[in-house]
Amino acid sequence: MLWPPTLTARKKATYFIALIKLLKYYVEYDTKFSEIYVLILISTKTTDMGSFQDSKKSSPKILKYVFYTGLLAGTLDISASFVNFLITSGGKNPVIVLYFIASGVFGQIAFLGGSFYAICGLLFHFIIVYSFVTFYFFNYPKVKTFLKNKYWIAFLFGILTWLIMNLIVIPLSHTPSNPHSVFQLILHIVFLILFIGLPAALSSDMFIKE
């Protein structure tokens, strides 16, 4: 069942169009952001990123790094969340994690289930991950000027991700209250450091050394 039974045909069409537009705007934003960043780097004669002599080659390379890093980070993070939920819930279906993410936009109705909300949850998850990865990737050279070790940068990225999500994104969303134990709190921070901060930092470092 792709759509929950409570949605009319008109609402289904509206949701589908909204999702397509959201994805379109995100792709356009990410592409333009990358192109602008490349132009800034090219115009700078001395920089940690080196000399970008061929802008046409540099832009696709940046997009490639961001794409694969975001894909890896998003897959690792959601997989870890699935396994953690499966263990802590006593074997419940981990797709509930996707319903929880979707509830940030749709509210409690997302927990009615169905493929629609699962797909939306997965889409929202990757949009968030790609947003963080893109931001970290393009700001890595600046951070490295005062924090030389890439693993410390990964640690910083992970902590920053947790702070932004828990102090800004989640409070502004419609997700229900979900209190964690101290262990789960620490575990979630570790997940963000290992599965978002570390891939972003290592990939960024690899890129600037090419």
pLDDT tens digits for range 9-32 = 565 556 556 556 555 555 555 555
CA distance 85 to 73: 18
Give the position of tokens 């979707």: 102
Q: Considering the domain boundaries, does residue 93 fall inside one? A: yes
Longest dimension (CA), the chain: 59
Q: Considering the domain boundaries, does residue 1 fall inside one? A: no
Q: Considering the domain boundaries, does residue 2 fall inside one? A: no
> Which residues fall within 8 angstroms of residue 63, CB to CB, at 6 or more apart?
30, 31, 34
Distances (CA, A) of 189 to 80, 114, 160: 12, 29, 10
Q: Considering the domain boundaries, does residue 4 fall inside one? A: no
Q: Considering the domain boundaries, does residue 191 fall inside one? A: yes
Domain that holds residue 172: 9-208
Tell me the Ramachandran region of residue 113: left when phi exceeds 0, alpha when psi lies from -120 to 50, beta otherwise: left
pLDDT tens for each residue of the chain, 210 residues long: 344 545 555 655 565 565 565 555 555 555 554 454 444 444 433 344 444 334 444 678 888 999 999 999 999 999 999 999 999 999 999 999 999 999 999 999 999 999 999 999 999 999 999 999 999 998 999 999 999 999 999 999 999 999 999 999 999 999 988 877 899 999 999 999 999 999 999 999 999 887
Give the position of tokens 């009615």: 112
Q: Considering the domain boundaries, does residue 3 fall inside one? A: no
Q: Considering the domain boundaries, does residue 104 fall inside one? A: yes
- Total structural domains in the chain? 1
Give 195's DSSP letter: I
Q: Considering the domain boundaries, does residue 140 fall inside one? A: yes
Phi, psi at residue 48, to the nearest 5°?
A: -65, -20
At 8 the pLDDT is 58
